[in-house]
């Protein structure tokens, strides 16, 4: 499977179960691996692939407008967003919340999802 990746992307959103976490947006570190269409490199044409710059810009904009309690629901929301906006067949989303626990560098979650709209017929 061919894919693009965005690793170490920083984005801000309101997230957290506790009120003190939700006082202001937090900076998260997001790693994305996104499946490309089979013919993405065949014609050397940006229209035939997924533009990682557009993914980054659109996702940051979306997250700035949203709020979440759990990293798990945020990760699912990102996967759904990638499927809806960029029609990818598969995505891996890893979110790191740095510095939230004492003496722990980062906590996070990682999910992999297949787009139900792109599944091969049985």
Please indicate whether residue 97 is annotated as part of the active site. Answer: yes
**C-alpha–C-alpha distance, residues 19 and 96, integer Å:** 20
Are 5 and 76 spatial neighbours (Cβ–Cβ below 8 Å)? no
> Average model confidence (pLDDT) for the chain?
93
- Does an H or E element contain 73, and which? helix 71-86
Identify the CATH assignment for 3-114 out of 2.130.10.10, 1.20.1600.10, 3.30.1130.10, 3.30.1330.60: 3.30.1130.10
Instruction: Give me the residue spans of the domains in the chain.
Output: 3-114
What tens digit of pLDDT does each residue of 78-102 get? 999 999 999 999 999 999 999 888 9
The residue written with tokens 């947006």 in the block is: 25
Look at residue 122 and tell me whether its pLDDT is greater than 70.
no
Q: At 119, is the pLDDT very low, low, confident or very high (cuts 50, 70, 90)? A: low
- Given the residues 3, 10, 65, 97, the one annotated as active site: 97
Q: Are 4 and 50 in contact (CB under 8 A)?
A: yes
Share of the chain above pLDDT 90, in %: 76
Whole-prediction pTM value? 0.92
Do residues 94 and 110 touch, judged by C-beta distance below 8 A?
A: yes
User: Which pLDDT does position 39 carry in this prediction?
Assistant: 83
Q: Which two tokens stand for residue 6?
A: 């965005």
């Amino acid at each position: 499977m061919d894919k693009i990746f965005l690793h170490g992307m920083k984005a801000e959103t309101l997230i957290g179960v506790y009120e003190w976490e939700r006082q202001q947006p937090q900076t998260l570190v997001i790693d994305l691996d996104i499946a490309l269409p089979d013919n993405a490199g065949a014609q050397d044409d940006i229209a035939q692939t997924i533009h990682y710059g557009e993914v980054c810009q659109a996702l940051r904009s979306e997250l700035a407008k949203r709020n979440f309690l759990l990293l798990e629901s945020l990760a699912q929301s990102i996967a759904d967003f990638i499927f809806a906006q960029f029609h990818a067949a598969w995505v891996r989303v890893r979110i790191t919340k740095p510095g939230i626990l004492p003496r722990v560098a980062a906590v996070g979650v990682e999910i992999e999802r297949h787009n139900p709209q792109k599944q091969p017929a049985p």
